[in-house]
Amino acid sequence: MSAVTVAPISSTDIGAVRKLEDAVGSVVRGKPEAIRASIIALLSRGHLLIEDIPGVGKTTLARALAASLGGTFRRIQFTSDLLPSDIVGVSIYDQSGKVFELKRGPIFANVVLADEINRTTPRTQSALLEAMSEGQVSIDDTTHDLEMPFMVIATQNPAEHYGTYPLPESQMDRFLLRVSLGYPAKAVERELLRERAGGDPVNRLTPVVDLATVRSLQDAVEAIRVDDALIDYAMSVIEETRRHPAISVGVSTRGVLAWYRAAQAAALAGGRDFVVPDDLKALAVPCLSHRLVLAQSHDSLGRARIDAERTIAEIVNRVAVPT
C-alpha cells in the first residue's frame, strides 16, 4: 500500500453524499448512474458534460443538483451570437467615481449550467477554459477568483448538425466526466406524467448540504488512498490508448489525473477510504472516452461517442486487473 495516512470516512460524509443522491433522485427518476456521476464530478472539483437527445432530463439533472446545494446557480443559454463577455462579465466605467467597475457575468456562481454549449462559437466556448481549469477568470488584465465550490454542467445534443460547433479537444479535456441519460423506463415516465400535475418538482427542492460541507467532502476525496498496483493498472490502460490503432490521440496526462481523482471520489461515495479496481473500471468510459481523438473521422457526434466508448471498454476489458 502507498504510505499515506488518512482519517476514516465519517458517517457525516457518507450521510451528506446520500442526502445529495436522494434529493436529486427525487426529481431525476430511474437514472442512478447519471446522478452518481454528477456527484462524483462535484466531489472531484470537476465538471460534467451531459450529451444526449433533447428532452430526456439533461437540464433537469443540472438544476436539481444545484438546488440541492446551498449555493448560487446560473444558467447560460448558449447561442451563436453569445460573446465571451456575456459569460465572464465586463468592466464598465463609472462616471461619478471615475473608476472601472466589474459587472460580473453568470460564470460567478457555484453551479453554472452551460445549456447547449455546442451552439456557440469556439471563441465563446474558450471563455470557459480558464474558469474550468483554474477557478478564476481574467478581465481587462485583472484576475478574479471564483467562489468554491465551482462546477460547470454543460449539455449538448449529439443529433444536431445545423447551427452547432463541435467542442475542441482542449474544451472536452476540461470535463471530468461525460454521461448520457437516455429515455426513462416506461413505469418511470408514467410516474413523471402523474407528478407533473403539481408543477416542476425541481422548484420544490431545498438545499440538503451547505457549501462548507461540499468543500469538506472535496478535501476528503484527496485523502482517499490508491494502491500502487492500481496506479500501474491505470497507466497500462492509458498507454494502450496511446498505441491503439483506432486512436490517433490517446488520453492526456490531465485525463489520467482526472480518472484517478474520480475513482477517489467514487470510493468516498461508496463509503470507503480506499479505491478498488471496480471504481476505476466503472469510470473508465465516462472519464476517458471523450478525451480520445479517433483515427477514423465521423460525420455524427453520436456515432463518434459510441465508437470511442466501445474502444475504451475493449481496452479496459483486455488489460489485466490487479488482484
pLDDT for 293 equals 86
Q: Say whether both 187 and 128 belong to one domain.
A: yes
Beta 111-115 vs 136-139: how paired, if at all? unpaired
Q: Say whether both 39 and 139 belong to one domain.
A: yes
Does any domain span residue 14? no
3-state secondary structure the chain: CCCCCCCCCCHHHHHHHHHHHHHHHCCCCCCHHHHHHHHHHHHCCCCEEEECCCCCCHHHHHHHHHHHECCCEEEEECCCCCCHHHHHEEEEEECCCCEEEEEECCCCCCEEEEECHHHCCHHHHHHHHHHHHHCEEEECCEEEECCCCCEEEEEECCCCCCCCCCCCHHHHCCCCEEECCCCCCHHHHHHHHHHHHHCCHHHHCCCCECHHHHHHHHHHHHCCECCHHHHHHHHHHHHHHHHCCCEEECCCHHHHHHHHHHHHHHHHHCCCCECCHHHHHHHHHHHHHHHCEECCCCCCHHHHHHHHHHHHHHHHHHCCCCC
Q: Identify the domain boundary among 186, 210, 234.
A: 210
Which domain, by its residues, includes 281?
224-323
Residue among 160, 161, 216, 228 at smallest CA distance from 42: 216
Answer yes or no: are the C-beta atoms of 147 and 110 closer than 8 Å.
yes
Does any domain span residue 215? no
Q: Say whether both 160 and 243 belong to one domain.
A: no
Per-residue pLDDT of the chain (323 residues; tens, 9 = 90+): 344 444 456 777 788 899 999 999 888 888 889 999 999 999 999 999 998 777 778 888 888 998 998 888 999 999 889 999 999 988 787 777 777 778 889 999 999 999 988 888 888 888 899 999 999 998 887 888 999 999 999 988 776 556 677 788 888 889 999 998 888 888 888 887 777 666 778 888 899 999 999 999 999 999 999 999 999 999 999 999 999 998 888 899 999 999 999 999 999 999 999 999 999 999 999 999 999 988 877 666 667 888 889 999 999 999 988 87
CATH number of the domain to which 297 belongs: 1.10.8.80
Q: Say whether both 64 and 95 belong to one domain.
A: yes
Our count of domains for the chain comes to: 2
pLDDT for 3 equals 41
Q: Say whether both 97 and 239 belong to one domain.
A: no
What's the CA gap between 68 and 133, in Å, rounded?
A: 24
pLDDT for 218 equals 94
Q: Say whether both 52 and 95 belong to one domain.
A: yes
Q: Say whether both 228 and 206 belong to one domain.
A: no
pLDDT for 6 equals 44
What's the CA gap between 268 and 71, in Å, rounded?
A: 22
CATH number of the domain to which 76 belongs: 3.40.50.300
Does any domain span residue 12? no
Does any domain span residue 8? no
Q: Identify the domain boundary among 210, 244, 260.
A: 210
pLDDT for 209 equals 92
Q: Say whether both 31 and 77 belong to one domain.
A: yes
Q: Say whether both 69 and 120 belong to one domain.
A: yes
Q: Say whether both 29 and 140 belong to one domain.
A: yes
pLDDT for 164 equals 74
Cell of 176: 471530468
Q: Identify the domain boundary among 210, 245, 266.
A: 210
